[in-house]
Structures are given as C-alpha cells and as structure tokens.
Structure 1
Amino acid sequence: MEQSLLPNIFDYLSTVDPFDHLTAEARNALASSVDILYLMKGEALDGHKIVGQGLFIVRLGAVEQCNPDRSLRARLADGDLFGFSQLHRNGACDYTLTAIENTLLYRIPKQVLMQLIEEIPAVRDHFAAQESVRLASTAAMAEAADEAMYLRPVSEVTNRNLALVSASTPIRDVAQAMVAQHRSSALVMAGDQLVGIVTDRDMTKRVIAEGIATTEPVEMVMTRDPQIIDGQSSLIEAIEAMMLHNVRSLPVIEQGKVTGVLTATSLVEKSQVQAVFLINRIYRQESLAQLKALLPQRQAVFETLVETGMHARSVQQLMALVADAFNKRLLQLGEQALGAAPMPYAWFVAGSQARNEIHGFSDQDNGLILAREPDPEEKDYFRRLAEFVCYGLAECGYSLCPGHMMATNPRWCVSLDQWLAYYREWIVHPEPQALLDISVFLDVRFLYGQAELVDVLKHKLTTYTRGNRRFLAILVANSLRVSPPLGMFRQFVLAKDGENRSVFNIKKQALSLLVDLARIYALAAESRETEMTKRLQAAVDGGIISPASRQELLEAFSFINQVRFRHQRIAMQRGETASHTIAPALLTQFERNHLKDAFRIIARYQEAAQQRFHARGVLR
C-alpha cells in the first residue's frame, strides 16, 4: 500500500466500531494491512472475491446486497461492514453485491481480522456469529446496571427484621415492638398465618385521631387480610402493587410463609431515579391543576432514565407505572367530582400502555366497559367521567389518540355485551377494515374499577381466537404490509420530515413489527398476556417459537428502543418535539451497524410467520 494513504486509513478506522477500541499501535498495524478496492456504479463484486477473503468496509459510496431470489438483503453505505458471514464458507456467496454508486471499499484480510478477534474482546463481541449476540453485548452494561434494581426479585431486597404480634396484643405493646425493631409496621399473626398489618400511619389515624385506648387489642385497628407479594416477583411488580392498592408496606411471602416486608421507603432509598417519588406525589395531588404541574417532572424522569443508561425495558415499565398513576388518580378525582358510579365498570388501557411500553411522549388509548346497558342518565355520567379523565391526561402530557381510540368516543364506552359483540365481529368474521380497530384493542390491560369485566373480555378473546387460523393469517398479512428499513441509508423507505430531511419511522418500520409478531405468537399459544417478554415466553411454552428465538426478538426490541429513546432525549434537550422519526445521518456508526442486525432479525421472522400461518395472498 502507498504509505501516504496510511494516515487517512488510520484516522478513518478510529471512527469505525469496533476498531475504535484498538490501541494506536494496533490500529496503525491494521491500517497497514488494508486493501483498497474500487467499484464503478453498476459493477458487481464477484462472490469468490468475498467468500473467505476478509471483512469489507464501505468507505465511500453505496452497495446493494441481494439474496439468490433477487430480493433485497440490505443496502450499505459509508461505514457499513460486510463479508464477515462469508469468512468461513466454501463455495458460492450467500448474496450478490453490486455498487449503486461509485464506491470505495477497504478490505481487512481474513488472517488479520481473526487475529484481532482472538486478541481483542471488543472485536470478538462485535463479530459474534448471531445478530442477537451482538445486540445483547451492546445492552449488557445498561441491563446489568438496572437489572440489580428494578428487575431483581423482591426477596433480594426484603427487610427480614420483623415486628410480629398477635391479634390480642395491646396497641401499646405493638407500638413498642415496632420501635424496638425499627420498623414502620407490625405483622399480626395467628401462628404462621398472616391475618393483618398495622402501620405507623394507622397508629396516627386510627388510634390517636380516633381516641382509641392503647390498651385495646391491635385487631381493632389493623388492616385485615393485607395485600402481599411473592418473593420472586420483581421490584417493578412491587411498585405496581403498592400503587394499585395504595399501600406503603407489602409483606413478602416465600413458599407460603412470611419472610419479610418491603416498604415504599426502602424502594426510594435503593432507587437510582426519582420515578418512585413522582408516583407517590401523583397520588397526593388533589386537583387536575396540581397533576398538570407535575408534567416537567415526568419528562425529567424519562430523560434521567435514558441518560443514566437504564435498560430500555425498565424505562418503559417505569414510565408505564407513572402513566398508570396519572390515569388512576384522575379517575379517583373524577369520581369525587361526579359522585359514585351508577353501576360497576372497568377502565382499561390499550395499545402501548397495556403492553407497558410507554415512553417520553406516548399518547393515550383506553376504553370503558360497563356492567350492563346504561340508561340515558347513566350514559351521561360515564361520558362526563371519560371526558374528565381523557382531557385531563392530555393536559398532563398524554396527548389524545389521533384515531380517537379513547373512552370519550361513545363507541368505546359501552356495556360488556357490546364489547363482546365487537370482538366476535372482529375475530369470528374478520374483515380487513376491522383491523384498524382490533390492532389497538387486542392489547388491553385492566386499570381501575371491576377487574372481572376485563377478565371476561380477555377470556372471550382467547375463545374466539383459539384455532382461528384465518384470523391469525390476516394479522400476519396486515403486518407484512410494512417491512423493516434494511436499505434505509440509501434512498429506500425514507420519507421527508418538516426540515426536508430523509427520515425513517423507527416505531412503524421496526418496533410495531416486533409487537405484531409477539402478539400473533401469543394468540397462537392461547395466551392472554400483553407484555412483550411475557408474550414471547408464552409462545415458547406453547411450542410456537424456541427459547433462542425469544431471546433474539427481545434483544432486537431492546436495542431499537434504546436507539429511539436516545434520539428522543436529544430532541428534548434541544427544545425540539420528540418523535418516532430519525434521520439516518444522525445515527452513530455503532447504531447504524447494530440496527441492521435488528432489522435483519425482523425480516427473517416476518418471512417465517408468513409461511407458518399461510398468510401469503390473504389480503389483496
């Protein structure tokens, strides 16, 4: 190689992942080994010059990879890598490669690359054989950081120093036991059986404020049959349980026995973010104006979670808990303003909130299930309640659904019988047009009111979809109308934004496709789960996909969300409106390379789903 080119190659390799991890000496040696190739527009690189030859880097220009059936595999541009999958092959190349612009390529010889892989862990991890392995390595540090907190089992952080009393213990003695054990609560036991709990707040509100003599037995003021949590539940689930039941202490049960107590205070102390503080504050607000004032804090929580490198799954779960708190507090305030509901009802969330996939600027999808057909006066009550909650959520930063998939729409505020009729129409006699409605309401999660009403709806959903191959085929075919942007870096599936930049929609063209796949797999497995991780696990348990496939899809989902959240945070910090669109030019090289891995995973599973569910030609 001409020595005058070495500084340029050295500088360029310093910007390319994973070679930016090399020492200057190693990078200089690598630059010296690089071969340079030129392709004119329309010129192909013969397969025998790719197979077993080394790793190629597109330095300038663009190339197109096509599968043997001539379908597009990927379009690659400046900084993209190819050739690694062909290093150890014999015979023909897996794809054809053609320049779609005048192109300059760097080639790192196979022997040099293999030596780097053997000696440098960062290079080895980057070139792991499977896309999912590479994606997993990118998220390992972020996941490890918060796995130790929000995804850890409750048993690992439970305080096992307990104040245990019997129902006949005098209140004074209970208080003394709490002080002696430095506990904010005492558990009331009958042998090994938990029968009640009393907290320091109970001592204030139920004893002192009511003038109860401290010589009375504690059973007079205890909370009977308290909420409990299993020791193997995650801390995310514990936070949700505290919110749902408005309690600050949860007795922990392991193998049927009480082993400790988890308190809101301990969660706050162990938390690395302010999400738990915010949730507690939400429930203390007494008006819509006060809730609205918390909007900046909600945005700050999202930005902090992303900035500190928290795993995307935990970001979504925590933001969903915050959204749930706003929603439920508005329902409580609505009932206070309008009076008690005239009949049992269930408020459910749908779409991304039902899946616990909330982010910094999610909109709202929800509905009301009424126990029976309402009369005009009852219908007016629920109309006013829905308007109070939905418009209140909009003021708190959860924008109104553009498609009006909300309880304010009379169509989505109806009796259980009417909801069942909707589902029967959508699923038993599916029409392509109905997919617009069911794409949102296939994902529902109970939030407030009578949970049994949502349980009945979800049970019927499972009944209607069981063995309904045509319905699943329609869902697959509808999802296949959108493909991942495999060639997004060179005039492929890009749109123009308000600044006339070429952009792609990371939600529509990637994340929604993974959501669709997980939903279809879960329905095929007759599962009622809505969350991505649980749906994929149900699909594994039902024999629909393998454990390796579950892991691969989760890694793709997590990495794509990680990229989305980073770019949304950058937009917020610049004072811009965060969105789902990203200009490829703003992606780092690291993001570009690994997004391609994720997009290839999506494309592969889309094709597999089309074949498995016989979806070809279902929609015309």
Structure 2
Amino acid sequence: MEQSLLPNIFDYLSTVDPFDHLTPAARDALAASVDILYLMKGDELAGQKIVGQGLFIVRLGAVEQCNPDRSLRARLADGDLFGFSQLHKSEHCDYTLTAIENTLLYRIPKQVLMQLIEEIPAVRDHFASQESVRLATTATMAEAADEALYLKPVRDVANTNMALVSASTSIHEVAKTMVEKHRSSALVMDGDKLLGIVTDRDMTKRVIVENIPPTSPVAVVMTRDPQVIDGESSMIEAIESMMQHNVRSLPVMDKGNVIGVLTATSLVEKSQVQAVFLISRIYRQESLEDLKALIPQRHAVFETLVDTGMHSRSVQQLMTLVADAFNKRLLQLAERELGPAPIPYAWFVAGSQARNEIHNLSDQDNGLILARQPDSEEKEYFRRLTEFVCYGLAECGYILCPGHMMATNPKWCVSLEQWLEYYRDWIIHPDSQGLLNISVFLDVRFLFGQQELVEALQHKLTAYMRGNQRFLAMLVANSLRVHPPLGMFRQFVLAKDGENRSVFNIKKQAVNLLVELTRIYALAAESQETEMSKRLEAAVKGGIISAASQQELIEACNFINQVRFRHQRLAHERGEPASNNIAPSLLTQFERNHLKDAFRIISRYQEAAQQRFHAKGVLR
C-alpha cells in the first residue's frame, strides 16, 4: 500500500465501530494491513475472494448481495460491513456481490481481524453473531447492577432477622426484643398470622407521649392490619408503596406468611436517594402550588438518572413512580377539597404510564370508571375532580394529551357498563376510530380508588379477545403502517422537522412499534400485563414467541431508549427543547451502528407478525 494513503485509512477507521475503540498504535497497525479494492458499477466480487478472506468495509459507493436464487439479500452502502459470516467457510459463498455504483472497498485480512477479536473485548463483542448480542454488550456494569437492584424481587432484599412478638407481650419486652434484634420494628403475630406492627416511632408517639404504661400489652399501641407487600413485587413497587402510605417498615409476604421486613433505611441505602426523597416529598405537599414547586426536582432526577448511566428501563420505572405520586396526591387533594366521592370510582392510567414507561416528554393518558351511571349532580362532582387532577398534572409538567384521552373528556369518565360497551364495540366491530381509541386503552393500570372496577374491565377485555384472531390481525395491520427508519442501503430514512433538519422520530418509528408488537403478543397469550418485559414473559409462556425472541426485543428496546434519553438530555444542555426527533448527524458512530441493529430486529418481527396473524390486506 502507498504510505500516503495510511493517514486517510487511519482517520476513517477512527470513525468505524468497533475500531474506534483501538489505541492509536493498534489502529495505525490495522490501517497498514488494509487491502484496497475497486469495483466499477456492474462488477461482481467473486465468492472465492470473499470466503475466508476477511472483513470488508464499503468505504464509498454501494453494493448488492443476492442469494443463490438471485433474490435480494441486502444492499450495502458507505460504512457498512460484510464478509464476517463467510470468514470461517472454505468453499461456496452464501451470496453473490455486485457493485451497483462505482465502489471502493477496504478489506481487513482474516488473520488481523481474528487477532483483534481475541485481544480486544470491544471488537469481540461487536462481531457477536446476533444483533441482540451486540446490543446486550452495550450495557455497562453500572447498568447491569442497577437493573439487578430495581427489578429485583423484594424477597431478595428484605431482612429475615425479624423481631416477632405476640399481642399479649408487654411493651417493655417488645422494646427489649427490638434492641436485641437491632430492628426498628416488631411484628405482632398470632401463630403464623400477622396481626399488626409496632415501630420505634410508635414507642415514642404512643407510649411516651400518651404515657401508656410499659407493662401494657403491645396490642394497645400496634398498627393493626399493616400495609404489606408480596415477596415477588419489585423494589420499585416497594418504594412507591412505602412513600404513598407513609410507612417505614413493610412486612414482606409469601402466600400469607411473613418472610421478612423491608425498611425505609434499607431502601435509601440501596436506591437512588434523589428519586426516593422526591416521591416522599410529593406525598407531603398540601396544595397544587406546593407540588408545582417540585418541578425542577423532577427534571433534576431525570437528568441525574441519565447522567449516572442508569439502565433505561429503570429510568422509566422511577420516573413512572414520580408521575404516579403526583397523580395520587392530586386525587387526594381533590377529594379533600370537594369532599368524598358520591359514587365509588377507579382512576386508571393508560398508555406509557400504564406500561411504566414515563420519561420527561410523556403526556397524560387516563380515565375514570364509575360504579354506576351518575346523575347530573354527581357528574358535576366528577367534572370538578377530573379537571382539578388533569389540569393540575399539566401545571406540574405532565402535558395534556393532544387527543384528549383523559378523564376530563366526558367520554372517558363513565360507568363500568359504558366502558364495557366501548370495549365490546372496539373489539367485536373495529373501525379506524375504534383502533385509535383502543391503541391507548388496551394499556390500562389501576391507580386510585376501587381497584375491582379496573379488574372487571380487564377481565371482560380478556373474554372479548379470546379467540378473536381477526382483531389481532387488524392490530398488526394497523401497526405495519409505520416502519423503522431504515432503507434498503441500511441508511436512515429521514424527514424534515420544524427547523428543516433531516431527522427520524425515534418514538413513532421505533419505540411505538415495539410497544405494539409486545402488546399483540400479550393479547395472543391472553395476558393482562401492561409492562413490556412481563408481556414478553407471558408470550413466551403462551408459546407465542421464543425465549430468544424475548431477549432480542428487550435488548432492542433498551438500547433505543438509552439513545433516546441521552439525546433528550443533550438537547437540554444545548438549550434546545427536548424531542423524539433525532438528527443522525448528532449520533455517534456507535449509536448509528447499533440503532441499525435494533431497527432491523423490529423489521424482522413486523414481518413475522404479519405472517403469523395473517394481517396482509386486512386494512385497506
């Protein structure tokens, strides 16, 4: 090779993932080993020049790979790689390669590439055989540890060294037991049955302040029927429960038996303190103005979570807990101002909040289910309540839904009977408007009030869906109207935004497509789960997808959201409004390559869903 070409090759390799991870000396040696090939438009690269030869990089131009039957396999352009799948073959190439433009190729010899793979983990991970494996390796150790903590069941974190006493035990003896066990609470038991709990705070507030004799039985001061949590619940759910109910000790249960205790101290030690303290503060605010004052802290929590490299799924989980806390506190304040509700009701959240996927740009989606049809006076009460809450949320930074899919819309503040009628029409007799409505209200999670109303709605939804393949086909066909922003040449397909920049919308063209696919899988498995990971678990158990598919989809979603949140954060640093529009010019080479992997995964599963659910031609 001419020495004058080396700087150009070195500089180019510095922009190509994974070779940008090499030290300058290693990259210089790699540049010196590169072979240069020129193809004129229409030229073919013979199979024997690909099989076992090395890794090819399209430096300039474009090529077309065709299968042996001449069907198109792929079109590759500037920056794309090929040849790795043929590296260990010795005879026939799996494809033919033809230049469709005048093309310049770089070839890294096999022995050079294999040495890099052996010596450098970043190169080895990049050339893992599946896109999902490459995406999985993008997670840092901090992300992995974070994932393990926030999604870990509380049974794995709870302290099993419990102070257990009977109801007749004296307060003095209970205090001694708590000291001996180094516990801040004692569980009051009747055999294996939990009767109540007494904490060190109770000892101060109820015993000393009220001058209760220490010889009295602990039953006098214990909290009866305390708040508990199931051992399979996640740490995130435990945080929310403790903050909402203002408790510092939470008994952990397994099939009615106490297996441990979770304390506020342990949560603060093991959690992102900033997020936990914010949730605690939200529940202590006494007015809308007080809640609005916490907006800067909410933004700061999001930025801190992103800056510290927290896993994208945990960012969404924690930001959803914050949103839930704002929502519930406003409902509590509304009832305090308006008085008790005249009819039992359930407030539910829909869309991204129902899926535990809230982030800084999320808008509101919610509704209200009444136990029966209200009269005019009762309607007025719920009009005032829903306006207090929804407009209050908007003032706290959760923007109003542009499509008015909120409880303030009288259409979404109705009786259970009316909601059931809606779902029956949407599912049994779907039309374009019905598909739009149900795309929001298929994801529903109870938040406040009478939970059995939401459970009744979800139970009926499952019944309507059972065996309804036509409806699933329509959901798939409706989803297929949008595709990932990746063209035939593996280049990003772009549109112009309001500032005339070339961008793609990562929410509409990627995140939403994954949401829709996993929702369809869960419905096919007759699951009522709303969270993506749990939906995919249900789909695997139901035989809808394989465990490998589950992993691919999760890794794709995690990486896409990681990129999404980082660019929202960077927009704030540049003084620009955050959005879901991303200009490829702002992506790193690493992000560009791995986003393409993620988009290809989505495309594959869209095609598979179309075939599985016979969705072709369903919508016209």
TM-score normalised by structure 2 residue count? 0.93
Structure 1's 608 and 365: CA in aligned 2 closer, same or farther, altered over 3 A?
same
Conserved? CA contact 1:361–1:397, under 8 Å? no
- Paired residues for 1:403-482 under 5 Å: 403-482=403-482
Question: C-alpha displacement at 1:242, in angstroms?
Answer: 2.2
Residue in 1 that maps onto 2:526? 526
Counterpart of 1:369 in 2: which secondary structure? strand
- Pair 1:143 & 2:143 matched: yes
Give CA deviations for 1:136-194 in whole Å, capped at 9, x if unaligned. 11115243230342123323432334332211123344344434444322111123332
Residue in 2 that maps onto 1:8? 8
Conserved? CA contact 2:75–2:490, under 8 Å? no
Q: What is the distance in 2 between the residues matched to 1:343 and 1:362?
A: 30
Counterpart of 1:571 in 2: which secondary structure? helix
Structure 2 letter corresponding to 1:395:
E
Residue in 1 that maps onto 2:29? 29
Q: What is the distance in 1 between the residues matched to 2:238 and 2:44?
A: 57
Question: C-alpha displacement at 1:46, in angstroms?
Answer: 3.9
Structure 2 letter corresponding to 1:135:
L
Question: C-alpha displacement at 1:376, in angstroms?
Answer: 0.5
Structure 1's 255 and 502: CA in aligned 2 closer, same or farther, altered over 3 A?
same
Counterpart of 2:258 in 1: which secondary structure? strand
Question: C-alpha displacement at 1:124, in angstroms?
Answer: 1.1
Q: What is the distance in 1 between the residues matched to 2:446 and 2:317?
A: 16
Residue in 2 that maps onto 1:122? 122
Q: What is the distance in 2 between the residues matched to 1:618 and 1:50?
A: 43
Q: What is the distance in 1 between the residues matched to 2:285 and 2:75?
A: 52
Question: C-alpha displacement at 1:556, in angstroms?
Answer: 0.5
- Pair 1:299 & 2:314 matched: no
Question: C-alpha displacement at 1:494, in angstroms?
Answer: 1.1
Conserved? CA contact 1:476–1:520, under 8 Å? yes
Which deviates more from structure 2 when the two are superposed, residues 405-414 or residues 105-114?
A: 105-114
Give CA deviations for 1:285-342 in whole Å, capped at 9, x if unaligned. 1111111111111111111111111111111111111111110011001100111000
Structure 1's 313 and 511: CA in aligned 2 closer, same or farther, altered over 3 A?
same
Residue in 2 that maps onto 1:549? 549
Question: C-alpha displacement at 1:568, in angstroms?
Answer: 0.8
Q: What is the distance in 1 between the residues matched to 2:313 and 2:46?
A: 40
Q: What is the distance in 2 between the residues matched to 1:306 and 1:465?
A: 38
Q: What is the distance in 2 between the residues matched to 1:550 and 1:490?
A: 24
- Paired residues for 1:500-511 under 5 Å: 500-511=500-511
Q: What is the distance in 2 between the residues matched to 1:303 and 1:44?
A: 51
Residue in 2 that maps onto 1:559? 559
Residue in 1 that maps onto 2:391? 391
- Paired residues for 1:531-610 under 5 Å: 531-610=531-610
Which deviates more from structure 2 when the two are superposed, residues 264-273 or residues 121-130?
A: 264-273
Conserved? CA contact 1:305–1:315, under 8 Å? yes
- Pair 1:309 & 2:318 matched: no
Conserved? CA contact 1:39–1:99, under 8 Å? no
Q: What is the distance in 2 between the residues matched to 1:339 and 1:212?
A: 35
Question: C-alpha displacement at 1:93, in angstroms?
Answer: 4.4
Residue in 2 that maps onto 1:349? 349
Structure 1's 341 and 596: CA in aligned 2 closer, same or farther, altered over 3 A?
same
Which deviates more from structure 2 when the two are superposed, residues 207-216 or residues 143-152?
A: 207-216
Q: What is the distance in 1 between the residues matched to 2:184 and 2:81?
A: 58
Q: What is the distance in 2 between the residues matched to 1:190 and 1:327?
A: 37
Give CA deviations for 1:361-381 in whole Å, capped at 9, x if unaligned. 211100000000000111111
Give CA deviations for 1:462-515 in whole Å, capped at 9, x if unaligned. 111110000000000011111111239987531112321100001111111111
Which deviates more from structure 2 when the two are superposed, residues 252-261 or residues 358-367?
A: 252-261
Counterpart of 1:545 in 2: which secondary structure? coil
Question: C-alpha displacement at 1:29, in angstroms?
Answer: 2.5
Q: What is the distance in 1 between the residues matched to 2:318 and 2:355?
A: 12
Counterpart of 2:543 in 1: which secondary structure? coil
Residue in 1 that maps onto 2:247? 247
Which deviates more from structure 2 when the two are superposed, residues 496-505 or residues 600-609?
A: 496-505
Conserved? CA contact 1:372–1:417, under 8 Å? yes
Structure 1's 499 and 445: CA in aligned 2 closer, same or farther, altered over 3 A?
same
Counterpart of 1:149 in 2: which secondary structure? helix
Conserved? CA contact 2:66–2:72, under 8 Å? yes
Counterpart of 1:346 in 2: which secondary structure? strand
Give CA deviations for 1:240-261 in whole Å, capped at 9, x if unaligned. 3324544321112357643431
Conserved? CA contact 2:490–2:596, under 8 Å? no
Residue in 2 that maps onto 1:614? 614
Q: What is the distance in 1 between the residues matched to 2:575 and 2:417?
A: 47
Residue in 2 that maps onto 1:276? 276
Structure 1's 205 and 425: CA in aligned 2 closer, same or farther, altered over 3 A?
farther
Residue in 2 that maps onto 1:184? 184
Q: What is the distance in 2 between the residues matched to 1:444 and 1:65?
A: 45
Question: C-alpha displacement at 1:64, in angstroms?
Answer: 6.6
Give CA deviations for 1:13-72 in whole Å, capped at 9, x if unaligned. 2332212333444322221221223456x6565463555443222334566768878679
Q: What is the distance in 2 between the residues matched to 1:254 and 1:186?
A: 18
Residue in 1 that maps onto 2:497? 497
Q: What is the distance in 1 between the residues matched to 2:85 and 2:334?
A: 59
Which deviates more from structure 2 when the two are superposed, residues 16-25 or residues 443-452?
A: 16-25
Counterpart of 2:445 in 1: which secondary structure? strand
RMSD: 2.5
Counterpart of 1:579 in 2: which secondary structure? coil
Which deviates more from structure 2 when the two are superposed, residues 488-497 or residues 599-608?
A: 488-497
Residue in 2 that maps onto 1:223? 223
Structure 1's 211 and 608: CA in aligned 2 closer, same or farther, altered over 3 A?
same
Q: What is the distance in 2 between the residues matched to 1:459 and 1:267?
A: 34
Counterpart of 1:274 in 2: which secondary structure? helix
Question: C-alpha displacement at 1:236, in angstroms?
Answer: 1.6
Q: What is the distance in 1 between the residues matched to 2:423 and 2:585?
A: 43
Structure 2 letter corresponding to 1:335:
E
Which deviates more from structure 2 when the two are superposed, residues 321-330 or residues 268-277?
A: 268-277
Q: What is the distance in 2 between the residues matched to 1:287 and 1:255?
A: 39
Q: What is the distance in 2 between the residues matched to 1:444 and 1:164?
A: 39
Question: C-alpha displacement at 1:234, in angstroms?
Answer: 2.5
Residue in 1 that maps onto 2:319? 319
Conserved? CA contact 2:342–2:378, under 8 Å? yes
Structure 1's 514 and 203: CA in aligned 2 closer, same or farther, altered over 3 A?
same
Structure 2 letter corresponding to 1:132:
S
Q: What is the distance in 2 between the residues matched to 1:241 and 1:47?
A: 65
Conserved? CA contact 1:426–1:435, under 8 Å? yes
Structure 1's 401 and 51: CA in aligned 2 closer, same or farther, altered over 3 A?
farther
Counterpart of 1:138 in 2: which secondary structure? coil
Structure 2 letter corresponding to 1:585:
S
Counterpart of 1:361 in 2: which secondary structure? coil
Q: May I ask how many residue pairs the two structures share in their alignment?
A: 617
Structure 1 letter corresponding to 2:451:
A
